[in-house]
Amino acid sequence: NAGVTQTPKFQVLKTGQSMTLQCAQDMNHEYMSWYRQDPGMGLRLIHYSVGAGITDQGEVPNGYNVSRSTTEDFPLRLLSAAPSQTSVYFCASSSRIYQPQHFGDGTRLSIL
C-alpha cells in the first residue's frame, strides 16, 4: 500500500526551465492538493482538486498549473521556473472532505 507517491524527491532546475512534479495515490481518494513549504511560512496551498476533472486555485497559484485527468494522478507543472519557486513541495490526498489529508514524502526543488 504505497499511499501518496511523489516523484522526483530532489530536482535542480535553471531559471526558465519547465518541469512537472508527479503525484499519485492508490487509495481512490477524491480530494488532492499541492502545498509548498518555505522556512518560517508553514505550508501554503497552491492548487487543489475535489475530483477528476475539477481543479481550483489555492493561496499561491501563480506560476503553477495542474490537471486531474484521473482519480489517481495530480501533476503540478512549473511553466517557467523562477528562484522564488525554490521550495519543498508536498502532495496530499483525502478520502472525503474534512478527513485528514495523507501527505507524500515531498519534492525538494531548487531553482538556480
Partner 1 sequence: AQKVTQAQTEISVVEKEDVTLDCVYETRDTTYYLFWYKQPPSGELVFLIRRNSFDEQNEISGRYSWNFQKSTSSFNFTITASQVVDSAVYFCALSEARGATNKLIFGTGTLLAVQP
Peptide bond into 8 cis (omega under 30): yes
Indicate the Cα dihedral angle 11, 83, 67, 48, nearest 10°. Answer: 100
Question: Binding to partner 1 by residue 58, rule CB under 8 A?
Answer: yes
Whether the CB-CB separation of 36 and 51 falls below 8 Å is answered with no
Whether the CB-CB separation of 47 and 39 falls below 8 Å is answered with no
| CB 69, min distance to partner 1, A | 19
- What is the DSSP-derived secondary structure letter of residue 73? B
| CB 20, min distance to partner 1, A | 21
CB of 24 or CB of 106, closer to partner 1: 106
Which listed residue (76, 106, 109, 111) binds partner 1 by CB under 8 A?
106
Which residues between 18 and 47 bind partner 1 (CB under 8 A)?
31, 33, 35, 40-45
Q: Determine the 3-state secondary structure of 7 from DSSP.
A: strand
Contact set with partner 1 (CB under 8 A): 31, 33, 35, 40-45, 48, 50, 56, 58-59, 88, 90, 92, 94, 97-103, 105-106
